[in-house]
Amino acid sequence: MSIVDKQTLADLNVTNNRYKDMIDFFDCTVTLGGRDMLYSYFLEPLSSKLEIENRQHLILFMQEVDISDLLDKYMMQDLEQYLSLPQEPYSPSRATYYLEMVSTNFLSLDFKKREILIKRSIHEIAKVIEELIVFLESARLKDHTLIILEEYCQRVNCVLEDIDRGELKQLIKNKFSKELMIKYDYLFRNIKRNAIRGVFHVLYHLDALFSVAKCIKGKDLVFPEIHEQISDSDIISIHGAYNLFIEGAIKNDVEIKRENNVWYLTGANMTGKSTLLKTIGSCVYLAHLGFPVPADAMKTVLFDGIMATINLGDNLSTGASHFFNEVLRVKHLAELLASGKRMFVLMDELFKGTNHRDASEATLELVNGLKEYDNSVFLLSSHITEICPILQKECVAQKHLEVQLDEKAGLIFTYQLLDGVAEEKLGMWLLRKEGVFEILRKVNFEAGQN
């Protein structure tokens, strides 16, 4: 999936500074680089079945191992500082570099301080390389022949080329001469500097994946089944989908078929329409990251992009109203669909910035247009129910969330997804139950008496 924007990320709580977001849920990273890597996963959904399944398998493998000894936040900060030392010593050969080191700062206090950092860093880099070798070898012995692991091995091997493994072991034992220190400082910060950064990159990947593996242990999440093409009538099938951020959340089954790829979700406020849209959207989004999803089981096709319009606001800087922002967003969607993109789309209470009749006509026209793109999925929520008979003839799937009216208990929201249109008039029911009209009539009556 290559198409995702800031509005969608905020609406699905992927990145949202005001509330706990998906990154917070999956973040048990140790290193700063690992957290940056995890963040990059959320901003760059994967676009192929192979990539997604490779990441799924690697996360599952990371549940079987413990790489805690490999991960040290402060060590990696020191090593990043070491590779970025000012006036990095590039010399055409190790001999000239050695002479420069000896002739300039050999006896100075600054050199002695720097020597401590260099020796410690060389030792730690050697240790990281050795521990990565052990980890990757264990993966190979367990028959994990994933392409990504082969790539990790290649990055480590780039560092090991032309390096004496005996000397490397001396570095690990922290028993090496000044000459050996200068040799490997020259190698690590000159000849193999980019290769060393490649090893750090591997370590940050493992930190991010290990974080996900730790976070999902004991949780009710499942890896989805991915299909690149629509092979049968089902585009998305989710059993037991629930919201990741609601404790004791109600689970719902979601079946979206090609012939009913447009959903029209009706119901009053508080019934859970927005939450349901976010729940389904989160499952689809996480599936494209290669992450487990909050559900009992899931199958989905791959989409080219996902677009959510749930908490859209005004744009004060450009003077654009909420309604105009909606129009621009729908226009952008139309352009993507017209270009052949397979989209997963969530729209909550569209066109509420205009009058009811105008909104009804616009919604009906929009739904009729979206129906033509049967390889995409469109989930729309609305209060507008008078167009539902027309939508039913157009084979639009009509859904609502159950609410029960009880004179004693009041409103009972079950948050269960049902077929059909929401018929309850909650506004009038609540106003009558709270005696609002009786209070007004009583006040008017008493005023008339006086």
Half-sphere exposure of 271 (CA within 13 A, CB side): 27
* All domains in the chain, ordered by first residue: 64-216 (no CATH), 225-403 (3.40.50.300)
pLDDT band for position 314 (cuts 50, 70, 90): low
CB 3 within 8 A of CB 343: yes
Mean pLDDT over the full length of the chain:
86
The rounded percent of the chain whose pLDDT value lies above 90 is 50
Residue 306 confidence (pLDDT) above 90:
yes
CA 400 to CA 410: how far, in whole Å? 19
Contacts of 352 (CB under 8 A, 6+ apart): 322, 323, 359, 383
Q: Which of 12-16, 173-177, 356-360, 377-381 has the highest mean pLDDT?
A: 377-381
Buried b / exposed e over 165-194, threshold 16 CB at 10 Å, is: eeebebbbeeebeeebbbbbbbbbbbebee
Tens-place pLDDT, residues 17-55:
666 789 999 999 999 999 999 999 999 999 899 999 989
Question: What gap in Å lies between CA 325 and CA 331, rounded to an integer?
Answer: 10
Is there a contact between 380 and 281 (Cβ–Cβ < 8 Å)? no
pTM above 0.85, yes or no: yes
Task: Tell me the per-residue pLDDT of 129-188, one tens digit each, with 9 for 90 and over.
Answer: 999 998 888 877 765 556 778 888 899 999 998 888 889 889 999 888 888 888 898 889
Per the structure block, which two tokens stand in for 442?
């009583």
Report yes or no: 129 and 137 within 8 Å, Cβ to Cβ.
no
- Average pLDDT value for residue range 327-356: 91
User: Using 50, 70 and 90 to split pLDDT, how confident is the model at 316?
Assistant: very low
pLDDT band at 108 (very low <50, low <70, confident <90, very high): low
Distance CA 378, CA 387 (A): 17
Q: Do 171 and 72 touch, CB atoms closer than 8 A?
A: no
**100-109, 181-190, 286-295, 332-341: the lowest-pLDDT one:** 100-109
Residues 441 and 444: their CA atoms lie apart, in Å, by: 5
